[in-house]
Amino acid sequence: MLSPLLVSDAAASIIILASGAIGILFAIFYAVYIHTIKIDPDTNSSAETTKLIQEEGRAPRPDMLVKIHTIASAISEGATSFLHAEYRIMAIFIVVFSILIVVVLGITPKHKGGHTDSKTWIKAVFSMTSFVLGSLTSIISGWIGMKIAVAANSRTALMALRGIGPAFVTAFKAGCVMGFSLVGMAVLNLFLGIVIFKTYFDDDVEGLYEAISAYGLGGSSIALFGRVGGGIYTKAADVGADLVGKVEQGIPEDDPRNPAVIADNVGDNVGDIAGMGADLFGSFAEASCAALVIASTSELGKHWYSMMFPLLITATGIIVCLITSFFATHIMVVKEIPDIEASLKRQILISTVLMTPVLYLLCVVFLPDKFHLQFIGQKDPGPVKNWHIFFCVASGLWSGMVIGYITEYFTSHSYRPVREVAESCKTGAATNIIYGLALGYQSVIIPVSALTVTIFVSFRLASVFGVACAALGILSTLPVGLTIDAYGPISDNAGGIAEMAGMGSDIRERTDALDAAGNTTAAIGKGFAIGSAAMVGLALFGAFITRASTGDVSEFSINILNPFVFAGLLYGSMLPYWFSAMTMKSVGKAALAMVEEVRDQFRNIPGLKDGTGTPDYKRCVKISTDASLKEMLPPGLLVMGTPLIVGFLFGYKTLAGLLAGGLVSGVQMAISSSNTGGAWDNAKKYIEGGSLGGKGSDAHHAAVVGDTVGDPLKDTSGPALNILMKLTAILSLVFAPAIVQHGGLISKHME
């Protein structure tokens, strides 16, 4: 008979492996379902699709299938070519940064004043390997999301012929492919990396998890380029299409006469799908690595099953979210348009409720009744109990839900704040801008209050390990979060395809209903991502302090009255503004080029306005691609370079000030930017739905201007700030030993 210890070790490993595998298999099953809906215009596929749709709806015309297939192929080609070009740049970055990791960590001895040896260099190689593994996982995650999105958007439009329910299920199941494949692959890769590394590190638990922490660095580095590059791409196309097409030429959104319309649809896939997926994968990887690094310095490091607790949270979340998804697809199915948004919002509530008792069981089974942690900056208050950790994780889980619903309140036109913004459009664009900015600032209050309560509870109960667990609590329902986030761009693209393929006003009404619900859930997803990024950033900050402290962490303190620390704090608070300015200006430059190109085509292509001419879509795709690849590099260098330069020149205490300032400032800006942009977008849709004069009215023109201003806020600078908060901290964590021993080149001569 196995001892309880062996049973617990085996159970932890089996749960993680089985859950990850189930998540991937579930994603494959739904991916196969998506591809059973044929869009090829050949005879056999056409007959098969006609038979499928005729069961409840009307059959597609042969010419309609040809148009859908042609448009879908153009979107797929544009998205694939962009990601190929982006990944070539990322490959160079991975090689260069891998060399930097090996060299910097290889010349850093384990103890200050000591000497490096072969073990030091081997450990540096393991860190580099972990970085590459995280980078590749992030790249593959983004690629899978893009491929399923471009496959699903045309099929969602096609299934709208059959009815609102089948179209919703198609988009939702495609979102599930993104959510479950990404999380399943992330858990398995991290777990297998730990198992392989363990064969070398043996009993050196701290060394093992210090090396594995670079997994999070790899994931977040790729997410930076994915979010920034993809965000610049999609917003350049979107702004160009709206300003010239809707405002100047007076043609509908997604009209095939608009040369930028294909680039706009491509951007939804590379920015809102691939970039978003890489971003949230980075959150999972960093939160897990932070918790593992902190736990390895405590009594938990003695037991495999306790060390696997962070991965068990995410692994069991896969199963809970899988069950939750059936409420949308089988139990409480969508039949009418009002059901759509309710079904998506239920996913958040149901997954949160189901996950709560699961978290309690995990804490009771896989954590000791009592154990000791290092409490940073305070004396050890005594043993931490396993139910303390439950409250930490549960507080993160429920605060994530609160942040999601508050985000919906401030960005959905079903509620007063967005309707006030819409009303302000009656007096012009200026008042629209004023009301939108005020809404964004006001929307920060409750999410930050929820985060504050969560941080207080988790830190009070279990120090920075509690904070890391709270971050994992927010991310425990990540498959559902990714699903409803990916659903939005897929539905948006489906509407564009329906318009371009001439599928009819009734079909466009159905896809617009899907898209309207997707806009709300996308805003919820952004709020979810920002909240998790704030918690992850704080957890990484705690892990950095744990590694940077040279003695007892209970005696460790950072005095903000120290001029170097205060300077770091101020500089860190400024960093999100600098970063946002760079990303927004990049969107402006790319959009300017797009506007000129679209205007030029309307001037020089005969019959383009009346529909007899053919726009050059490829020119606009190339402009967005070239501009985004060029403009994503400076913001990337700013984020990657700043913590290393500050750490090595001014020391780890100044760097700690920088991280604190960037986190506090970044979370406010991210929430405000995202919600302001979302409110402007939905105020425009509220008016387009027939309120306040409807399309073509003065209020509508003012709303379009606000939406155009808000596009880079909600889809570029706002989401990218998530990565700034996390990436600066994970960089500091990975390079902490080198910064402590070799840093302060300037400050140590001035103190």
Question: What pLDDT sits at residue 3?
Answer: 44
Question: What pLDDT sits at residue 114?
Answer: 61
**Residue 571, number of CB atoms within 10 A of its CB:** 18
Question: What pLDDT sits at residue 219?
Answer: 86
Question: What pLDDT sits at residue 375?
Answer: 67
pTM: 0.88
The tokens of 565 are what?
Answer: 């620390």
Question: What pLDDT sits at residue 2?
Answer: 44
Question: What pLDDT sits at residue 117?
Answer: 67
Question: What pLDDT sits at residue 743?
Answer: 78
Q: Which stretches in the chain have pLDDT values below 50? A: 1-4, 55
Domain range summary for the chain, segments of one domain joined by +: 4-749
Question: What pLDDT sits at residue 305?
Answer: 86
Question: Which residue shows structure tokens 């489906």?
Answer: 494
Q: How does DSSP classify residue 475?
A: G
Angle at 456 between CA 453 and CA 459, to 5 degrees: 140
Cα 327 to chain centroid, rounded: 24
Amino acid identity for residue 528 in this structure: F
Nearest to 443 by CA among 737, 168, 674, 103: 674
Nearest to 591 by CA among 263, 367, 371, 346: 263
Question: How far is the C-alpha of 250 from the C-alpha of 245, rounded, in Å?
Answer: 6
Using an 8 Å Cβ cutoff, are 725 and 663 in contact?
yes
Nearest to 183 by CA among 363, 357, 320: 320
Strand partners of residue 370: 385
Question: What pLDDT sits at residue 115?
Answer: 66
